[in-house]
Amino acid sequence: MEKRAVYATRHEDSRGRYYDEAPSATRTPFQRDRDRVIHSTAFRRLKQKTQVFVAHEGDHFRTRLTHSLEVAQIARSIARTLGLDEDLAEALALAHDLGHPPFGHAGEDQLDECMAEYEGFDHNAQTLRIVTKLEVRYPNYDGLNLTWELLEGLVKHNGPVVGPDTPFESLPAAFRGFPYLKDLEPEQFAGPEAQVAALSDDIAYNNHDIDDGIAAGLFTIDELMDLPIVGDEFRAVRIEYPHLNDRMVCYEAVRRLIGLWINDLTGETMRRIKEYNPQSAAAVRAMDVPLVAFSPELESRQRALRAFLYERMYKHYKVNRMRSKAKRMLKDLFDIFLNEPDTLPSPWRMDASQATEAKRARIVCDYIAGMTDGFAMDEYRRLYDPEALR
């Protein structure tokens, strides 16, 4: 076993689960959390949920599932280097996108718009709702009964959720509806493993979006050459391997870029460890700044990459067409299910038919948010395509 740092989360000191269970004879609490996430229905559905491209557009583009696996691999590597609990970092990485609806951020934007009169929709809050309520796999409780540390990390991996500008009352409904949210210390940072998982997400999507964008023909390697860091690595690969085709150049450059991002993060985090000298995971949570971070230089230079990807990929007309189509489909599905709850399948139909309008809207939202891209398109066809009657 790797030696754990003093500031690491210790599974022996876990604050436990909200429903008491006998410990496992073969797994730590965080290994058990990871396994519960992997065996969940919500996790399997990620294989056909959009990352940037709709899942059916190509077998080689990232989906939410393959993205989550890449985040988990990066998180484990960083956690090992920093002496943190690798299993907790991995579990957080695997679970972080469970709440995403079909069609990526287009789906999230549309569901939030549909739910505007019913306290909105937020994919991070939906993740908490899934792991504490909607996954029904165990006879003695709803949800997955994950550890305090995993729930805390899922809620706060992007930083404190309660502060001077964000009172408790302003939080998404799914956060406020969780009866133990204040126990998760929402005004503090998350533990170090959750901070690692959050920035591993950034490393993964920054770099695999380069790969997917080139593969999809949205931009070329030559158009990346003026970007800080990215252009340098692509140029170095071309110089070192002048006979490689563009596909192989991309693979090698992205591999190097991931390593560069990881090395920067671990270097800056080790610098902060020396500066702040936290003596426990609790001390990490109580800090005024995150312990895990990129260097100011990399943080500044990667803004150009994010701006490039935003303009040339996320806002590309091909992606915009998909977004437009996806939003129309989800709006129509939401409207028909809300106004005609008898069109819902069991057991959703029974619950929605007997609910108030606001509660029915949340039931419909949960149903749609759980759909894969393909299932949402099939539901739309079944409900709106006259040909489906034949």
Domain boundary among 316, 349, 369: 316
Question: 311 and 325 in one domain?
Answer: no
Q: At what angle do helices 86-95 and 192-215 cross, to 10 degrees?
A: 50
Is the pLDDT at 11 greater than 70, yes or no? yes
390 or 323, which is more confident?
323
Question: 345 and 252 in one domain?
Answer: no
pLDDT digits (tens, 9 = 90+) for 78-115: 999 999 999 999 999 999 999 999 998 899 999 999 99
Question: 113 and 19 in one domain?
Answer: yes
Domain boundary among 301, 316, 331: 316
Residue 372: other Cβ atoms inside 10 A: 22
| CATH number (domain holding residue 17) | 1.10.3210.10
How far is CA 281 from each of CA 152, 249, 345, rounded to the nearest angstrom?
12, 41, 45
- Prediction pTM value: 0.94
pLDDT digits (tens, 9 = 90+) for 357-383: 999 999 999 999 999 999 999 999 999
Question: 330 and 244 in one domain?
Answer: no
Query: Cα 328 to chain center, whole Å?
Result: 24
3-state SS, residue 240: helix
Q: For all residues of the chain together, what is the average pLDDT? A: 93
Question: 235 and 223 in one domain?
Answer: yes
Residue 319 is predicted with a pLDDT of 82
Average pLDDT over residues 292-305: 94
Question: Of 305, 99, 95, 129, whose CA–CA distance to 200 is shortest?
Answer: 95
Number of residues in the chain: 390
Residue 55 is predicted with a pLDDT of 46
Give the single-character DSSP code of 130. Answer: I
Q: Could you tell me the residue range of the domain that residue 134 belongs to?
A: 11-184
Domain boundary among 285, 316, 347: 316
| CATH number (domain holding residue 227) | 1.10.3410.10
What's the structural domain count of the chain? Answer: 3
